[in-house]
Amino acid sequence: MIWDRFRIEGRVAVVTGAGRGIGAATAVALAEAGADVVISARTEEQLSKVAAGIEAAGRRALVVPSDLSDPDAAAALAARAAEAFGRLDIVVNNMGGAMPAAFLDTSPRQLENAFQFNVSTAHALTRAAVPHLLEAGGGSIVNISSVMGRIAGRGYLAYGSAKAALAHYTRLAAFDLAPRVRVNAIAVGSVATSALDIVMTNDELRTEMERKTPLGRVGDPEDVAAAVLYLASPASAYVTGSVLRVDGGIETPNLDLRLEDL
């Protein structure tokens, strides 16, 4: 049956930025599809709640509180997964982000920090994971990029540039690691996570965002988690080097930061 191609029974996944939002929803979704999951983020209390959801799905969770802005800390997760569960099959590079800022307020250091937080850490974990993925017979890498890596809007210089780099990193890595390791990404649109709290609690801003989104709503973390499961599972066995859009159909930014002309 086709559902069997979405099962990842007995496989092991690492999910970064897994304390809440997209990362938390993804970790639980992978567990519900059959995987044991290593989850990492800064806050242990948040991770413990996610671990409870994984265990409720009948799978094992390993909680690794860590500051993943350090590429070495991110890389260490691959070995932790192999040591705890004996293998590694799936890596979800979900950690990332950068605060919006006007062009003249974006320093070279802020740009460098955005690249490290969104690209270098993903590469560090992916590079460390590859030997374990090969030992397990192959695997899947899923990078969480953003619609802002594809479209242009004021205030997103650092974030959008880094996410665009992550999207192309995905394409390049897919060629380097084929045929045994697949590498794909998801270009995420506006999703109701803590990063959008200020929007979701403001009727005017939320309504504006919904109006500018063709599907007429802000996304849920589970919308992205379902796409991750597809890319992580045998259902996408003939897919690599792709950037899947999960953005409600937007072609222009749906949140105006109201930055004035210079």
Burial class (CB in 10 A: 0-12, 13-18, 19+), 111: middle
Task: Quote the crossing angle between the two packed helices 221-232 and 21-32, to the nearest 10°.
Answer: 50
58 vs 11: CA distance, rounded Å: 13
153 vs 17: CA distance, rounded Å: 25
The dihedral over CA atoms of 34, 117, 242, 26, expressed in degrees to the nearest 10, equals: 20
106 vs 201: CA distance, rounded Å: 27
135 vs 132: CA distance, rounded Å: 5
Q: Please identify every residue annotated as catalytic.
A: 159
CB within 8 Å of 212: residues ≥ 6 apart:
250, 252, 253, 254, 255
